[in-house]
Structure 1
Amino acid sequence: MNRRVLNRSLLAVGLFVATFGASARDVLIRNATVHTAGAQGTLHHADVLVGGGKVRAVGTGLTAPAGAEVIDAQGRPLTPTLFGGITEIGLEEVSGERATVDQALALGKGGEMSVRPEFDVTLAFNPESVVIPVSRVEGIGWTLLGANATQGGSLIGGQGAVVRLDGGPDPVGPKVLFVKLGSEASGLTGNSRAGQWMILDQLIDEVRGRIAPGSHAALLTPAGRAALARYLDGGGRVVVQVHRAADIRQLLRWAGRHKVRVAVAGGAEAWKLAPQLAAAKVPVFVDPLANLPSDFDSIGASLENAARLRAAGVAVGFTQAGDASHHARKMRQLAGNAVAAGLPWEDGLAGLTRIPAEAFGVADELGRIAPGQRADLVLWSGDPLEVNSVALQVWMDGQSIPMRSRQTELRDRYLRAVPSAEQGGLPRAYPSAAGIR
Structure 2
Amino acid sequence: MSARSKASLLALALLAAAPASWAQDLLVRNATVHTATARGSLEHSDVLVQGGVIRAVGTGLAAPAGVTVVEANGRPLTPALFGGITDIGIEEVSGESTTVDSTLKLEDQPLRPEFDVTLAYNPSSVLIPVARLDGIGFTALGANSGGGFVAGQGGVMRLDGSADPIGPLALYLRLGSSAAELTGNSRAAQWMLLEQMVSEARGRVPVDSPHALLTPAGRATLARYLAGQGRLVVEVDRAADIRQLLRWAAREKVKIAIAGGAEAWRVAPQLAQAGVPVFVDALGNLPASFDQLGATLENAARLHAAGVPVSFTQRDDPSHNARKMRQLAGNAVANGLPWQDGLAGLTRVPAQALGVGDKVGSIEPGKLADLVLWEGDPLDVGHYAEQVWLGGRAMPMRSRQTELRDRYAAPAGSEPRAYSR
TM-score interval (norm. to shorter)? over 0.9
CA distance in 2, matches of 1:22, 1:243: 44
Pair 1:206-2:200 in alignment: yes
**What is aligned with 1:117?**
113
Question: Counterparts in 2 of 1:7-156, with a 5 A limit?
Answer: 7-17=7-17, 20=19, 23-109=22-108, 114-149=110-145, 151=146, 153-156=147-150
Partner of 1:298: 292
1:401 deviates by 1.3
Go from structure 1 to structure 2 and tell me whether the alpha carbon gap of 1:293 and 1:15 turns closer, same or farther (over 3 Å shift).
closer
**Structure 1 stretches lacking a partner, 5+ long:** 431-437
CA distance in 2, matches of 1:398, 1:116: 38
Unaligned runs of 5+ in 2: none
Q: Which moved more, 1:348-357 or 1:20-29?
A: 20-29
TM-score of the aligned structures, taking structure 1 as reference length: 0.94
Q: Which residue of 319, 325, 342 maps to 1:331?
A: 325
**What pairs up with 1:314-393 in 2 under 5 angstroms?**
314-393=308-387
Aligned partners of 2:17 and 2:124 also within 8 Å: no
Alpha-carbon distance between aligned partners in 2 of 1:354 and 1:307, rounded to the nearest angstrom: 17
SS in structure 1 of the partner of residue 321 of structure 2: helix
Aligned to 1:274: 268
The match for 1:169 among 163, 170, 183 is: 163
State the Cα deviation string for residues 167-204 of structure 1 (Å, max 9, x = none).
11111010100000000111222211111100000100
Aligned partners of 2:152 and 2:171 also within 8 Å? yes
The answer for the alignment partner of 1:249 in structure 2 is 243
Match of 2:218 among 220, 224, 234: 224
The answer on whether the counterparts of 2:20 and 2:391 sit within 8 Å (CA) in structure 1 is no
Secondary structure at 2:235's aligned position in 1? strand
CA contact (8 A) 2:43 2:74 kept: yes
Whether the aligned pair in 1 keeps the contact of 2:24 and 2:394 (CA below 8 Å) is: no
Give me the whole-angstrom Cα distance separating, in 2, the residues matched to 1:131 and 1:234.
33
1:405 and 1:204 map into 2 onto residues whose CA distance is 45
Contact 1:104 1:157 in 2 (8 A): yes
SS at match of 1:254: helix
Cα distance in 1 for partners of 2:291, 2:389 equals 41
The whole-number CA distance in structure 1 between the counterparts of 2:368 and 2:15 is 21
**What number of residue pairs does the alignment pair up?**
420
Question: SS state of the match for residue 277, structure 1?
Answer: helix
Partner of 1:427: 417
Please give the TM-score of this superposition, normalised by the length of structure 2. 0.97
Q: CA deviation at 1:137?
A: 1.7
- What secondary structure does 1:178 align onto? strand
Q: How many angstroms does 1:429 deviate by?
A: 8.1
1:5 equivalent to 2:1? Answer no
Find the counterpart in structure 2 of residue 194 from structure 1. Answer: 188
Letter of the 1:145 counterpart:
L
2:414 aligned with 1:404, yes or no? no
Over aligned residue pairs, what C-alpha RMSD do you find?
1.4
Distance apart, 1:155 and its partner CA: 1.3
Q: How much does 1:10 deviate?
A: 1.1
Matches within 5 A, 1:304-315: 304-315=298-309
Identity over aligned pairs, percent: 64
Deviation at 1:212, TM superposition (A): 0.8
Corresponding letter in the other structure for 1:68: V
1:26–1:65 contact (8 Å) kept in structure 2: no
Paired position in structure 2 for 1:435: none
Letter in 1 for 2:116: D
- Tell me, yes or no, if the aligned pair for 2:17 and 2:162 is still in contact at 8 Å: no
CA contact under 8 A between 2:228 and 2:255: conserved in structure 1?
yes
Deviations 1:31-57 (A, max 9, x none): 100000012111011100000100000
What SS does the corresponding residue of 1:78 show, helix, strand or coil? strand
1:292/1:28 Cα in 2 relative to 1: closer, same or farther (>3 Å)?
A: same
How far 1:3 sits from its partner (Å)? 4.7
Residue in 1 that maps onto 2:257: 263
Q: Which residue pairs with 1:433 in the alignment? A: none
- The structure-2 alpha-carbon separation of the partners of 1:192 and 1:33, relative to structure 1 and needing over 3 Å to count, comes to same
Distance 1:229 1:266 in 2: 26
Contact 2:152 2:172 in 1 (8 A): yes
Work out whether residues 92 and 102 of structure 1, in 8 Å CA contact, stay in contact via their aligned partners in 2. yes
1:434 match: none
Q: CA deviation at 1:392?
A: 0.2
**Inter-partner Cα distance in structure 2 for 1:127 and 1:17:** 7
Secondary structure in 1 matching 2:166: coil
Residues 211, 217 of structure 1: 8 Å contact kept: no
SS in 1 for 2:291: coil
Q: In terms of Rg, which structure is larger?
A: 1
* Structure-1 separation of matches of 2:308 and 2:220: 31
Cα deviation, 1:343-370, whole Å, max 9, x if unaligned, reads: 0000100000000000000001000000
CA drift of 1:217 comes to 2.2
CA change 1:129–1:366 in 2 (3 A) is: same
